[in-house]
Amino acid sequence: MNTRKVPEEFKFIRERVLRVIKPIIPATESTQAEKDFLFSAKRTQAGRSLPPYYLVYFLFVDLLGFKNLGQFEKVSWSVPIDYRGRAFLIEHRKFGLGIFARDSAEDETAASEISILIHKGVKTARPYFDYIAQQAVSNSKVNVLNNSSDLYDRFVFLSESVKNKLSEAEQRKDEKDVDLNEYDGWSWRSVALPSARLRFEARWLALSAIEAFFSWTEHVFIHLALLQGKLSNAEEVASLAGSEWSSKYKTALPIDDLQSKRWFDELIQIKNEVRNYIVHGAFGKQGEAFTFHSGTGAVPVLLPHNKQSKKYSLGAGLELKAEEALLVIEDFVKYLWSGPREPAKIYIQRSELPIIMTMIADGSYATAMASVESMEGFVDHLSGEFDRAANMDW
């Protein structure tokens, strides 16, 4: 067994895990195995139900110090074990983690027992897994997942749906659906306007589109701040992720720039008057949900003269100036990816690559952000590395 440097406070966990997984021990020269076992071992069915590959790796290689045979073609790592005198392999291959044996049919029962013991070992080792994860975050040896493309596509889909609904409403503005109704000897006609229904649907979609936009920007501002070197470690990323939208904007974009400040003012107005209103159950902070009693009936508490400053205000029936708000948003997106931020769009929106915190520290991203050409070359290289790793082409 290899001796791994495990912090003193976790050595008792290592001993507990060794007891829990017994009789699994490291393979030795006396372990029964065929001459070409490493190349002829077959995947067992029981090995398909193991815990995530990284937990099994941390368990055997990091915590317990079992020997890792290293990388082979289409194999990321391989740990030979001894189970009741027989050799088995725990390997992470291109098609997943598994337990491999000389004869998958004959050894299936043993593989099932091994799988159960590994699950117990992983459960016992949880405090150690928490420790190494925290250490990685503290040292910024992490990647920041990039979901920007998917979030933006959601916004575009909803925004286009609004335009389609409004276009159809305009085309059908002269249509009327007339129904003849009868009841208890009475008859009457009811008239419905398809265009009115379509406009209602457009408003609902617009609210969803606006929500999708702010969800995307909550995400993309963090990535933009990282590529511009405004965040330097994982703890800063975590702190900004938990902050308000306005903080994310001001970190990613130069708020002291007049154009950037103008966009901030426009967007914060949409956010406060539309998005926040709906997200919090359509109860505004200025009495939007109330009407007061009067001699002329129920009257909105938020009277018209108080709405003058609200460009995108919601009134009776959740009336929304959808087209205006979405036009502002679409123009902002063009501004966002202009000028010195243009290279960032290639990485964030087109590549879908995560941001690797260690490459911020070594200046790789700063170099790539110098120009569109530099970023394109950087993305091509990094994408190739990710593809090779995924295919296990070592």
Domain boundaries, given as residue ranges, for the chain: 8-138, 143-168+209-281+309-391
Q: Residue with structure tokens 């109704």? A: 181
Asked whether residue 375 carries a pLDDT value surpassing 90, the answer given is yes
* pLDDT attached to residue 72: 86
Cα distances (angstroms) measured from residue 168 to each of 64, 164, 320: 66, 6, 18
Do 131 and 10 meet the contact criterion of CB atoms below 8 Å apart? yes
Is residue 302 within a helix (H) or strand (E), and if so which, with residue range? none
Top-confidence residue, 230 or 280: 230
* pLDDT attached to residue 313: 45
Q: Residue with structure tokens 């008792």? A: 12
Grade residue 394 by pLDDT with cuts at 50, 70 and 90.
low
CA-based radius of gyration for the chain: 30
Asked whether residue 316 carries a pLDDT value surpassing 50, the answer given is no
* pLDDT attached to residue 207: 87
| From 22-31, 49-58, 72-81, 299-308, the region with the lowest mean pLDDT | 299-308
* pLDDT attached to residue 299: 66
Grade residue 331 by pLDDT with cuts at 50, 70 and 90.
very high
* pLDDT attached to residue 317: 41
Do 93 and 392 meet the contact criterion of CB atoms below 8 Å apart? yes
Cα distances (angstroms) measured from residue 355 to each of 141, 225, 348: 11, 11, 9
Please report how the helices 234-241 and 194-227 are oriented relative to each other, as an axis angle in degrees rounded to 10.
160
Q: Residue with structure tokens 């949900």? A: 289
Q: 125: left (phi > 0), else alpha (psi -120 to 50), else beta? A: alpha
Query: pLDDT over 90 for what percent of the chain?
Result: 61
* pLDDT attached to residue 339: 94
Cα distances (angstroms) measured from residue 358 to each of 375, 377, 390: 17, 19, 20
Grade residue 354 by pLDDT with cuts at 50, 70 and 90.
very high
Asked whether residue 61 carries a pLDDT value surpassing 80, the answer given is yes
Contact residues for 123 (Cβ-Cβ < 8 A; gap 6+): none
Top-confidence residue, 142 or 114: 114
Token pair for 89: 């392999």
Burial of 369 (0-12, 13-18, 19+ CB in 10 A): buried
Give pLDDT tens digits for 33-46.
888 888 888 999 99
Q: Give the number of other CB atoms < 10 A from CB of residue 259.
A: 12
Token pair for 315: 């009134």
Contact residues for 284 (Cβ-Cβ < 8 A; gap 6+): 277, 302, 314
Mean pLDDT score across all residues of the chain: 87
* pLDDT attached to residue 200: 86
Determine the Cα–Cα distance for residues 207 and 213; give it in Å rounded to an integer: 10
Minimal CA–CA distance to 343: which of 322, 318, 364? Answer: 364
Asked whether residue 186 carries a pLDDT value surpassing 90, the answer given is no
* pLDDT attached to residue 392: 81
Token pair for 110: 């043993």
Over range 291-315, report the average pLDDT: 58
Determine the Cα–Cα distance for residues 227 and 225; give it in Å rounded to an integer: 6
Burial of 391 (0-12, 13-18, 19+ CB in 10 A): exposed
Do 202 and 162 meet the contact criterion of CB atoms below 8 Å apart? yes
Give pLDDT tens digits for 219-232.
999 999 999 999 98
Determine the Cα–Cα distance for residues 264 and 57; give it in Å rounded to an integer: 47
Q: To 10 degrees, the CA torsion angle through 94, 97, 102, 103?
A: -100
Do 42 and 99 meet the contact criterion of CB atoms below 8 Å apart? no
pTM: 0.77
Give pLDDT tens digits for 89-129.
999 998 899 999 988 677 899 999 999 999 999 999 999 99
| From 155-159, 237-241, 276-280, 316-320, the region with the lowest mean pLDDT | 316-320
Determine the Cα–Cα distance for residues 25 and 282; give it in Å rounded to an integer: 61
Grade residue 305 by pLDDT with cuts at 50, 70 and 90.
very low
Do 6 and 64 meet the contact criterion of CB atoms below 8 Å apart? no
